[in-house]
Chain A
Amino acid sequence: MNLPAKKFNNPDQGPVALHDRAMDNLRYIRETMQRSASFTHVSGIGGVLMGLIAIAAALAASGASGPSMWVGTWLAAAAAALSAQALAMIRKSAAAGEGLLTGPGRKFAWNLIPPLVVGAVLTMVFVRAELIDQLPGAWLLLYGTGIVTGGSYSVRPVPLMGAAFMGLGTIAFFAPATWGDAFMAAGFGGLHILFGIVIWRRHGG
């Protein structure tokens, strides 16, 4: 794989070969750096914002008049929270002068998306089957799964937060149905704010 260094010192090598070898080396250095770097653009501020949105949603959802309104409230909150985090990540990566979806960032996204898609599909299934009470556990568990898998390419607090979500989601399945909003507030609100502050302090906003 490695090209012998002597080619650089061979006077018979033309400029094209030199140029190509140098380009190849620079490309290798860049790719190695990208592969090895942790994805640090998960935003602590974005996490705190997500948490605040979730707590507001929990308050609104607890007063919902019916299952449709309850699900609608949480889906709207999810869209707002994910948008807030996405904007915060764009801002953080721009401040660092780096692309958001390069190397580890792309892996983070590809590992996060499948559990979220599963969550969307199961939401439709659970709503049709009138199993609304099971949604908090399913959402917490699947979101946590995505954060753990995507977070394996990120800084340590991110996968730890995912594991906490998974634990909370599992407990939620076995808790009384009336505690659903409390679990949602504790997870999407409390865990996001807690880990958001940790990420903010250790790895920047």
Chain B
Amino acid sequence: MAARQGALPKARGDARPTALAGVRGQHSQAADPLELDRLIHERVRLGIVSALAVNGSLTFTDLKELLGATDGNLSAHARRLEDAGYVRCQKSFESRMPKTEYELTKLGRRELQLYLDHMEAIISATRDA
């Protein structure tokens, strides 16, 4: 297994935003080749980032319907992504109704790409095993 793990990419470099420090601190920072970006790995957050990757922006309501999440659940997950700088949130009013729109930042797009690369590397490494 060690040999296989060695084939996997080192997921994380040092040049990470400080906002991620708390998230990173949740699991071992040892040279763990299977280290995943926990922030994206969570299913609702992965859904938010994936949906935003193919849409310029999506409203809170769009995301809620798409992911089947509750207001509180989606709000909490979106906030974590926003705090980490993965998504940008813009609040406005439309016909006097509050409207919250999210869009993916460059960092968020890069992190999703890294996550995809990581998944592919796992599949590739285990297939070759």
List residues of A whose CB falls within 8 A of some B CB: 1-3, 5-6, 8-9, 11, 15-16, 18-19, 21-23, 25-26, 28-29, 32-33, 35-38
Bound complex: CA of A25 vs CA of B116, how far in Å? 9
Task: Specify which chain A residues have a CB less than 8 angstroms from the CB of B51 in the assembled complex.
Answer: 32-33, 35-36
List residues of B whose CB falls within 8 A of some A CB: 1, 4, 27-28, 32, 34-36, 38, 41-44, 46-47, 50-51, 53-55, 58, 62, 66-67, 116, 119-120, 122-123, 125-127, 129
In this complex, what residue of B is CB-closest to A12?
Answer: B1
Bound complex: CA of A28 vs CA of B49, how far in Å? 12
Bound complex: CA of A33 vs CA of B116, how far in Å? 13
Return 23 A-B CB contacts under 8 Å, by A number.
A2-B42, A5-B41, A6-B27, A8-B122, A15-B126, A18-B126, A19-B123, A19-B127, A22-B122, A22-B123, A23-B123, A25-B46, A25-B119, A28-B43, A28-B46, A28-B50, A33-B51, A33-B53, A35-B51, A35-B66, A36-B50, A36-B55, A37-B55
In this complex, what residue of A is CB-closest to B4?
Answer: A15
CB of B122 within 8 A of CB of A19, answer: yes
Task: Specify which chain B residues have a CB less than 8 angstroms from the CB of A28 in the assembled complex.
Answer: 43, 46-47, 50
Q: A188 to chain B: closest CB distance in Å?
A: 31
Bound complex: CA of A36 vs CA of B120, how far in Å? 22
CB of B116 within 8 A of CB of A29, answer: yes
CB of A8 within 8 A of CB of B58, answer: no
CB-contact partner of B54 in A9, A22, A36, under 8 A: A36
Q: A10 to chain B: closest CB distance in Å?
A: 9
Asked whether A33 and B126 contact (CB < 8 A) given A15-B4, A26-B116, the answer is: no
In this complex, what residue of A is CB-closest to B37?
Answer: A5
Bound complex: CA of A23 vs CA of B66, how far in Å? 21
Q: B77 to chain A: closest CB distance in Å?
A: 11
Q: B76 to chain A: closest CB distance in Å?
A: 14
Task: Specify which chain B residues have a CB less than 8 angstroms from the CB of A33 in the assembled complex.
Answer: 50-51, 53-54
Q: B38 to chain A: closest CB distance in Å?
A: 5
Task: Specify which chain B residues have a CB less than 8 angstroms from the CB of A36 in the assembled complex.
Answer: 50-51, 54-55, 58, 62, 66
CB-contact partner of A2 in B35, B43, B62, under 8 A: B43
